[in-house]
Amino acid sequence: MLIANFDRVGRFHMGSKCLARSKCSAISSEKDKAVDEPLVGLDFERGQRGHRLIPRRLPISHLNGPRSSLSPLVCDIGKVFYENVEIYRFRKEIEKFWYLVDDLMGAAGSKLEKVLGDQFPEGERYFGLENFGNTCYCNSVLQALYFCVPFREQLLEYYGDGKNPGDVEENLLTCLAELFMQISTQKKKTGVIAPKRFVQRVKKENEIFRGYMHQDAHEFLNFLLNDLVDILEKETSKDPAGSLSPPEKMGNGPHGGQVNGAKKEPIVTWVHKSFQGILTNETRCLRCETVTARDETFLDLSLDIEQNSSITSCLKNFSSTETLNAEDKFFCDKCCSLQEAQKRMKIKKPPHILVIHLKRFKYMEQQGRYKKLSYRVVFPLELKLTNTMEDADCEYSLFAVVVHVGNGPNHGHYVSLVKSHNHWLFFDDENVEMIEESAVHTAFGSAQEYAGNTDHGYILFYESLTSNSS
Ligand SMILES: [Zn+2]
C-alpha cells in the first residue's frame, strides 16, 4: 500500500522525485506537499449498500496526529494501524519521512516561523525531537522540562559552570544538559534535533526503558528527576564547598534523618528547589486523640481521578480524611497498640513547580490487567491550591501538559502541549505547531467511555505565580 519507499541508502522516493537529505528542495510549499504526499491506509466509504470498509489510499499525515480532519472512526482505524507493533518498521519509515520533510522545510523557514512572524520570541528555540522507536514518552517529557524555564536555566547554568566535559563522567544529568544546550544554541529558530545520546543513556541506566515497547511517561519523569537528584547529591557531598547551594533545612522524608539522634540534614539541590514540596501526613488516634504528624517530600503528586471531575476536586479528595480501621489500624505510640485513627494529607510546603500526575492507568483486579481511564478531568489554566497549611492560597499557572493518545495502557502515543511566551505549542516528536489556547481543552478527556477523542491530559506542569521560594 505504501507507494513511497526508501532505497538502500535511505533516500526517499516518491514517484519520480528523489528527496535526498542534502541539496534537494523538492518540497517547498504546502501545496506541493499535499500533491506529493504518499498514500496509505484504509478509509471508510459510504457504499451503495450502506457503510462498508473499502481499502482506499489515505494521506499518511492523517494517520500521524491526533487532530485529523477525518471522522473519529477513520482516525481510530488509522491510529490502530499506526500503533500496531507489527508494523513498527513501517511507522519508523513514516517518521523518517516527516523528519526529512521538516528538514527540507526548515531550510526555507518553517511553517511555525511563518505563523509566529514578528512575534517569534527573542532567543527562544522550538525544536522537535526525533523518535527512535516508541520514544515519545521521553520526547514529550523532555519538551515539558525544556519549557520549565527555571529548570532549564538552572540546568544550563550548571552546564556552563566551567566543568571540563572531559573531567565529568557521562551521566543522565550531563546528557540532559548537553541536549538543552544543543537546543538553546541552535542557529535556526525551529527544526528537529535527535536526542540520541540522552536516549541511549536512559536505556543504559534503566532496563525498563531498554526495549521498543510503549512506556509510561510518568514513570520516566519520576526516574529522571530522581536520578538527577542522586547525581547532584553525590556531587554535593563530594564537594561541599563547591558551587552548589549549601544544604538547607528541610522536612525529613518518611524515614529520614532521625536514626539514633544522628541527624543528617538532607541535601537540597536545584532540582529540589524547582520541584520539591512537602506533604504532612496527620494521623489522629481515635482513642487518645493524639495527633502524629509526619512530613514527606514529593517531586510530583499522583492523584486518583473520577469521571467528570476537576483537578480541584481530585486535590480535595487527596486531602480528605480517611479512617483507618479493621485490618488497617494505626499503631499509636501513646496507647502502645493498634487503634482506629483518622488520617489526612496536607500540603505543608507547595513546590515552585507543581507536577500533577493523573492516575489514568488503573489495575483492574478482576481482569488482571491495566485499563486506561479516559475520564474527563478538567484542569484549569490558573490553579488555586487551597489545601495547604499556609494561610495564603497558592496560585499556579499551567505551562505544560503531557498528553497520552490512545485507548489502552500498553500502546498509544505521547505528545505535549506547552505554553511559551503566551503562545501554546503542540509538540509531537519531530513536529511542532502553534495551537489555540482553547485546543488545550480537548485534552480534558471524555464524558463517555468510548468517545472518538483519545487525547487525555496525563501529566500537568504548573508554575507558581506567588513565588516565595528563595
Ligand atoms: Zn492513641
Q: Is the pLDDT of residue 80 over 50?
A: yes
Q: Is residue 119 part of a domain?
A: no
pLDDT in tens, 40-64: 443 333 333 333 333 334 444 444 4
Q: Is residue 293 part of a domain?
A: no
- Pairing type for strands 353-358 and 301-303 reads parallel
Q: Which residues pair with residue 384 across a beta bridge? A: 395
Q: Is residue 340 part of a domain?
A: no
Determine the distance separating the centroid of ligand 1 and the alpha carbon of 118, expressed in angstroms.
66
Distance, CA of 424 to CA of 109 (rounded, Å): 20
pTM of the full structure: 0.73
Position 265 scores a pLDDT of 73
Q: Is residue 300 part of a domain?
A: no
Determine the distance separating the centroid of ligand 1 and the alpha carbon of 397, expressed in angstroms.
42
With cell 556552563, the residue in question is: 160
- Pairing type for strands 394-405 and 413-420 reads antiparallel
Mean per-residue pLDDT, 19-35: 31
Catalytic residues: 136, 413
Q: Establish how many alpha carbons lie within 13 A of residue 137's alpha carbon, considering only the half-sphere containing its beta carbon.
A: 27
pLDDT in tens, 187-228: 999 999 999 999 999 999 988 888 777 789 999 999 999 999
Burial class (CB in 10 A: 0-12, 13-18, 19+), 82: buried
Cell numbers given for 373: 481511564
Residues 6+ apart with CB under 8 A from 238: none
Q: Is residue 28 part of a domain?
A: yes
Please give the residue range of the domain that contains residue 58. 1-100
Distance, CA of 406 to CA of 96 (rounded, Å): 22
Distance, CA of 260 to CA of 245 (rounded, Å): 27
Burial 250-267 (b: 16+ CB within 10 A, else e): bbbeeebeeeeeeeeebb
Least confident of 130-134, 142-146, 150-154, 327-331: 130-134
Q: Is the pLDDT of residue 28 over 50?
A: no
Determine the distance separating the centroid of ligand 1 and the alpha carbon of 297, expressed in angstroms.
26
Determine the distance separating the centroid of ligand 1 and the alpha carbon of 298, expressed in angstroms.
28
Q: Is residue 406 part of a domain?
A: no
Determine the distance separating the centroid of ligand 1 and the alpha carbon of 390, expressed in angstroms.
27
Burial 210-242 (b: 16+ CB within 10 A, else e): eeeebbbbbebbbbbbebbbebbbebbeeeeee
Return residues with CB closer than 5 A to ligand 1 (ion). Answer: 285, 287-288, 332, 334-335
Q: Does residue 192 contact residue 127 with C-beta atoms inside 8 Å?
A: yes
Q: Where are the alpha helices (DSSP H) in 59-171?
A: 72-83, 88-107, 111-116, 136-146, 149-159
Q: Is residue 158 part of a domain?
A: no
Determine the distance separating the centroid of ligand 1 and the alpha carbon of 284, expressed in angstroms.
8
Q: Is residue 376 part of a domain?
A: no
Q: How many domains does the chain have?
A: 1
